[in-house]
Every structure is written in structure tokens, then in C-alpha cells.
Amino acid sequence: EIVLTQSPGTLSLSPGERATLSCRASQSVSSSYLAWYQQKPGQAPRVLIYGASSRATGIPDRFSGSGSGTDFTLTISRLEPEDFAVYYCQQYGSSRWTFGQGTKVEIK
Amino acid sequence: QVQLVESGGGVVQPGGSLRLSCAASGFTFSSYGLHWVRQAPGKGLEWVTFIRYGGDIKYYADSVKGRFTISRDNSKNTLYLQMNSLRAEDTAVYYCARSFRGVVGEWFDPWGQGTLVTVSS
């Protein structure tokens, strides 16, 4: 099973700053099957990025994804107040889906 | 609009059983695979199980294999999760999510609002 490790665990930033979230896989992941989700307290997750770098419908362009192989990155170019949340990466391979443990982006 | 609504959660004793339902609307239910994903209190997301659009192919996480069964009724636009031999570590919010496959890749979208299952004596 592919294990996804996200870092850092918590990111303390101010609105307007840039956020860089990392997702590292224990073995190579097809970029087509790497996605990022945002979850706010008391809400279900929602997809932000699929195929490692494609923004989902309605997602602002301040969110971008990049990477390949075992290293993937979610970047939020300028944090808005509504962006403070937990972010998860997720992959599919060999009839298994796995999530990273999450990165919390909190207000500094 | 596309919507998934879970129900059936509650409190159950260790070793007990529970069946969750997920009612879908706003899309052609029989054309999509579906997942159950769970989230223990204060923890991250854990994929539980998947069923293909026709119901013929199912996959399970090792943590639930042999205890949980996923099924669907395409005539009722409803997904199910039968949970047997429940353990304290199964306590979580259970989400259903549609498997959306695009030109590039596959992802979970949308998600239901979740239903809480608590396993406790």
C-alpha cells in the first residue's frame, strides 16, 4: 500500500501569505491519480486539485498543484481568510485509495 | 444539484451491527462508482471501500475486510454499507463519495455530509 506523508503537520501563516504544502509518497504515484482536498471544521472534504495539477470546477486560481513521481505540492499563492482549513492529498493505485494525514493551515 | 445524503449512524455496542445508507440525487447513479470514507474524531480521512457502477467489483481496506459489505441498489439510487462485528476503532464519521473520472485521473466528488457511528458499551 502506498503511504502518503504530508508536511508540515501545521502551517501558521497570515492572510496574504503564500502557503506551500508537501505530499510525499512511499512509492511512485501516477500523477493522474493524485488529488488534493480541503476540509473545514464540521464540513465534508471538497476536491481542490485532481490529476496533480488541474483545478476542480469553481476553485480559485490562487490554488495550484504540481509534482510527479513521489513528490507533490499544493500552493496557495495568497491566503484568504476562508483558506484556513485542513488539506489532504490522496492517491489511487492497485485497487486502493489512500490519504495523507493532513496539513492544518492556521492563522498566525 | 448533485447530492449525497447519508443516514443510519448511531450508537452500537462492540460486536454489534449497523447498516448505513447513502441516497443520491442529481446525477445518473448507475453510471458512477461510489466510495465510503471514514474519519475518526479529530483524525484524518481513511478510505474504507469502493463499489463499481454495476456493483460487480468491490474493494475493501484491510481494516474492514470480512466485516463490512458495500452494496448498491441502482433502482433506488442508494448506496449501502453493512457493518458487522463492530469495534471501538470503527467509531467515526462515515462519508459516501462519488468516484468522478475525468479526462485526467479520478477523484472523490462530491461528498455527503457524513453520518456518525459510535461503537461503545
Q: Is A67 on the interface with B (CB under 8 A)?
A: no
pLDDT tens-digit series, residues A33-52: 999 999 999 999 999 999 99
- Indicate the average pLDDT of chain A: 96
For residue A7, give the 3-state DSSP assignment: strand
- The pLDDT assigned to A36 comes to 98
What average pLDDT is seen over chain B? 96
B35-47 in b/e form (b: 16+ CB < 10 A) is bbbbbeeeeebbb
Of A93 and A65, more confident: A65
Residues of chain B with Cβ-Cβ distance to A32 below 8 Å are: 104-106
8 Å CB contact of B104 and A50: yes
Query: Per-residue pLDDT tens for B40-99?
Result: 999 999 999 999 999 999 999 999 999 999 999 999 999 999 999 999 999 999 999 999
Q: What is the pLDDT of residue A38?
A: 98
What integer pLDDT is reported at residue A31 of this predicted model?
A: 85
Q: How far is CA B8 from CA A5, A66, B32, B44, B95, in A?
A: 33, 39, 22, 22, 12
Residue B105 confidence (pLDDT): 81
Residue B104 pLDDT exceeds 90 = no
Is the pLDDT confidence value at A4 over 90?
Answer: yes
CA distance B60 to B72: 15
Q: In whole angstroms, how far apart are CA A91 and each of A68, B7, B64?
A: 12, 27, 19
Residue A1 binned pLDDT confidence (cut-offs 50, 70, 90): confident
DSSP A45: -
pLDDT score at A29? 93
Whether the CB of A93 is below 8 Å from some CB of chain B: the reply is no
**Angle of CA points B74, A94, A68, to nearest 5°:** 115
Does residue B16 carry a pLDDT above 90? yes
Report the residue of A43, A97, A99, A101 to disrupt the B interface, i.e. the one with the largest count of B CBs within 10 Å: A97
Q: Does B107 touch chain A (CB under 8 A)?
A: yes
DSSP letters spanning B45-88: EEEEEEE-TTS--EEE-TTTTTTEEEEEETTTTEEEEEE-S--G
SS3 breakdown of chain B: % helix, strand, coil, rounded to 5? 5, 55, 40
At A32, the pLDDT band (50, 70, 90 cuts) reads confident
Q: What angle do CA B110, A94, B62 make, to 5 degrees?
A: 80
Question: Least CB-CB distance to B45: which of A45, A46, A56?
Answer: A45
Contact between B35 and B96 (Cβ < 8 Å): yes
Confidence of residue B103 (pLDDT cuts 50, 70, 90): confident
Q: Which of chain B's residues have a Cβ under 8 Å away from the Cβ of A99?
A: 37, 44-47
Torsion of CA B46, B49, B51, B57, to 10 degrees: 130
Position B101 scores a pLDDT of: 85
Chain A residue with minimum CA distance to B100: A50
Question: What b/e readout covers A75-88, taking b as 16+ CB neighbours within 10 angstroms?
Answer: ebeebeeebbbbbb
CB pairs under 8 A between A and B: 68
How near does any CA of chain A get to the CA of B101, in Å? 10
DSSP secondary structure letter of residue A100: -
